[in-house]
Chain A
Amino acid sequence: MRKQILRMLCVAGILFGLAETASARGFQLLAPNVGWTIGYEQRILWTTDDGRHWKDITPPSKDGSGGAPFFLDRQRGWVLLAYGEPGVRKDFDLAVTDNTGAAWSVIHPILPPADHFVRGGQVAFADSLHGWMALQAGMSVGVNGQGCYSRLRMAVKPGNPSTPKRSGQC
Chain B
Amino acid sequence: MLTPQLGWLVEDGANAALFVTRDGAKTWQRVLLESPVKTEQMKESEHQYQDWKQKFQAAMSPDEAKYASRWMSHQPPMLFAAYDLPTFTDLEHGYVCVKYPGVAVLFETSDGGVTWRPDRIVTGIQPGRSGTIEPSAIVDSTWILGRALQKGLPVLSKLGPHAQVADNTMPPPEASGISEMSFITARQGWVFTFSGRLLATEDGGTTWTDITPARQVRGAVSSTLR
Q: B-contacting residues of A (Cβ < 8 Å)?
A: 9, 11, 13, 15, 18-23, 25-32, 35, 37, 39-40, 43, 45, 47, 50-56, 124-127, 129-132, 134, 136, 146, 149, 151, 153, 165, 167, 169-170
Contact A29/B190 with A54-B222, A55-B220 known, Cβ cut-off 8 Å: yes
Which B residues are CB-close (under 8 A) to A40?
A: 213, 215-217
Closest to A40 in B: B215
Kindly list chain A residues whose C-beta atoms are within 8 Å of the C-beta of B7: 11, 124, 126, 132
Across the interface, A13 reaches (CB within 8 A) one of B9, B213, B224, namely B9
Interface of A (DSSP majority class) = strand
Select B217's contact among A19, A29, A43, A153, beta carbons within 8 Å: A43
Question: A126 contacts which chain B residues (CB < 8 A)?
Answer: 1-4, 7
B182 proximal to A (CB < 8 A)? yes
Q: How many residues of B contact A (CB 8 A)?
A: 46
Number of inter-chain CB pairs below 8 Å: 129
Given A19-B12, A40-B213, A40-B215 in contact, is the A53-B221 Cβ separation under 8 Å?
yes
Would A51 and B17 be within 8 Å (CB), given that A39-B213, A126-B2 are in contact?
A: no
A32 to B200, CA, bound (A): 11
B binding-site residues for A, Cβ under 8 Å: 1-4, 7, 9, 11-17, 24-28, 71, 74, 131, 180, 182-184, 188-190, 192, 198, 200, 202, 209, 211, 213-224
CB within 8 Å for A132 and B1 given contacts A29-B189, A146-B71: yes
* 8 Å CB contact of A52 from B1, B192, B216, B224: B224
* Smallest CB separation, B218 vs chain A (Å): 6
